[in-house]
Amino acid sequence: MSAHADVAVAKPDSVAVHGTSGHEQRGIDTTLMGMLLFIASEVMFFAALFGAYFNVKATAAVWPPEGTDFITPVPIPLIATIILVSSSFVMQWGVWQIRKGNRTAMNRAIAVTLLLGVIFLSLQAFDYYNLVTNENFGINSGVYGTLFYTMTGFHGAHVLGGVIGLTVILTRGMQGQFSSKHYMAVEAVSAYWHFVDIVWVALFAVIYLLK
């Protein structure tokens, strides 16, 4: 009778531990929710930048203003765009792998994504250098230059933030901290990376293609 009572008491404790281990979560994870809320605030920030761009463009008699050439997307911006879009697919593949418990594949995917992000930033820096030195087009080149460098510069800063986040996730992944049960931090960084990717596609279309 005593043994049966002990088992009966132990069972609820076992269930309680299982429930607090994170294996049976209900609702959205707080880490992912925090990232989604942060992304929502950044959406409004970039929406304001796009709004300023379209407002100035709509009130200008000629766009770009007289004396300023339209920035072409070939070759560096186009190459950078392809690289960033590709990195988003690689990142998502990594998320799918950790959901299956394949941490090694996830680490490789994040490492490739990180490398592509660094290449994107390097190409952006080189494009800035080329525009300033060879095209004499800087942030002081009228309202067109100010908007161009402000919008692409802020996006570059967000990509840098994503690169830092990817570095942290890769370091943790190499230490074996993620599994098919615990990977919400990977999901959160992935959501942010997709966000900067989508913003860049919109920037590319508006700045380089929409005359």
- When pLDDT is averaged across residues 35-53 and rounded to a whole number, the result is 96
Listed in sequence order, the residues at least 6 apart from 50 whose beta carbon sits closer than 8 Å to its beta carbon are: 151, 202, 206
Task: Report the percent of the chain where pLDDT is more than 90.
Answer: 75
- When pLDDT is averaged across residues 39-57 and rounded to a whole number, the result is 96
The model's pLDDT over 120-137, given as tens digits with 9 standing for 90+, comes to 999 999 999 999 999 999
Note the CATH number of domain 28-209. Answer: 1.20.120.80
The domains of the chain are located at: 28-209
- pTM score of the predicted model: 0.85
- When pLDDT is averaged across residues 114-119 and rounded to a whole number, the result is 98
The model's pLDDT over 7-32, given as tens digits with 9 standing for 90+, comes to 444 334 333 333 333 444 556 788 88
Q: Cα separations (Å) of 136 from 78, 128, 129?
A: 21, 10, 10
